[in-house]
A and B are shown apart, each in its own frame.
Chain A
């Protein structure tokens, strides 16, 4: 279980993570905002669709790719939260791509 060691709530922004409105500190990474709010599933693996989550938290594993404001493949550990940001677990897999191709 992730938790923050900070005890004050200054410089807060509000963002949405998988439909939940949450508060986070300005400048905080998107991944850490997800982690403390229990939203640890960042993406689905491209072939199997298995749940994945951040592994390195420093930009070298690309496991934390989420969708931010509709744009996919955003590394949650590198992006910072901002007011009104909309973050969702990335569910793009080979299967979903095949579905989209039929549109």
Chain B
């Protein structure tokens, strides 16, 4: 079977920018993405938005449309609606496409799995009506659907962005419950000077906060002890702020305290990972060009460590330059010379990120559950108390705890509980997360029917083009 020169998994900003570079250099590229159109989460539907007043979503989102259009004009094979469920270090990719499993082979593989919302296991977080702020964004961008009278709770730029977008669209917001601790402003201050290298982003962020403050929406700052109230569905949010307890009624509560890499693909490939203590999450260990511990596998974008959309674009281009070197299209010196600009862009973005990461660092109170009844594993319904009992019985690492309690064994394959379990074990053992490790993940990375597997089919490079 003939192989593609390079297969890219994920068509967000990183995947699109890499694909454009590679295709323009004459490389045979296959791009696989689950969505019907390229864009990833950040530029989802940017080229064909169903939102009547799309300008309300902001200039950064609008900029995605130009990138999507550039991507769609280059010569490559784009599999839309393609859900990759096995990636082999032999260059073999298995993916679901229109109800069938297909196989393709590639010489170089670039993984751009993107970010997911950091789970926020507060009491009541499994009630219907509790969703992530990212979910509010997804519904707005892909289907122009909004929740009226919602509460937004947590901390971080994405939370403020969606609140501002709702307000611009005239969607009533019941309250913004901000959990950013006062101490974080002091902690972040030393990083401010370096963040000013990226002053455009800083100005945008400040303008966003001002827009929310002057809108008249109820804002509760330095909120603690959050709990979603309700029996069979969310009925409101209880919290402590300004020295007293509040309870606000709402049928929808959107939670947010940052994003983390979506690890399942890179973990199932068994790439080396490391703990990022500033972002409080695992990320792939890679060099400046995204080359991982398996030399023909590269990573780029938020899936390799949170850098944001502009950082993802730069990382995608850098990964492409290195892949061109590996495929013999560029010498090392040519690669390095072409990389100068993006390496410098990335360094300035990372200075800004350090400030943001410090200011909106997830607090232990929201990252790890405190109430014994709160579920950690949403799929297998394992609570903090259940996990502690497992730990006390001798399950001291994520895999043993999984075997003993089924925590992480459900359909989400640990996507929601993985970081929480690692965090709890680190706390209980008083050890570094690197020592604790993570679940051992395996393919398939999505739910498959035997019927689908029986209709297995191989993609030939010529036929695909």
Contact = CB atoms under 8 A, between A and B. Distances in A.
Contacts of B379: 46, 62
A57 B232 CA distance: 20
B336 interface: no
A61 B129 contact: no
B169 A5 contact: yes
Interface in A2-40: 2-7, 25, 27-29, 31-32, 35-36, 40
Contacts of A4: 143-145
B280 interface: no
Contact of A46 (B41, B142, B169, B380): B380
A29 B131 contact: no
Instruction: Please classify how large the interface on chain A is, using the bins under 10, 10 to 19, 20 to 34, 35 or more.
Output: 35 or more
Contacts, number: 121
A27 B36 contact: yes
B190 interface: no
A31 B41 CA distance: 17
Contacts of A45: 126, 381
A42 to B, nearest CB: 8
Contact of A60 (B148, B380, B415): B415
Given A51-B232, A73-B411, A77-B138, A61 B148 contact: no
Contacts of A31: 139
A6 B139 CA distance: 13
Given A5-B51, A6-B50, A58-B134, A46 B126 contact: no
A56 B116 contact: yes
B131 A54 contact: yes
B378 interface: yes
Contacts of B134: 56-58
B139 to A, nearest CB: 6
A78 B140 CA distance: 15
Contact of B410 (A46, A51, A71, A77): A46
Contacts of B116: 56, 58, 60
B447 interface: yes
A63 interface: yes
A52 B405 CA distance: 21
Interface of B: 34, 36, 41, 50-53, 116-117, 126-132, 134-135, 138-140, 142-149, 169, 232-233, 251-252, 262, 378-381, 410-412, 415-416, 447, 449
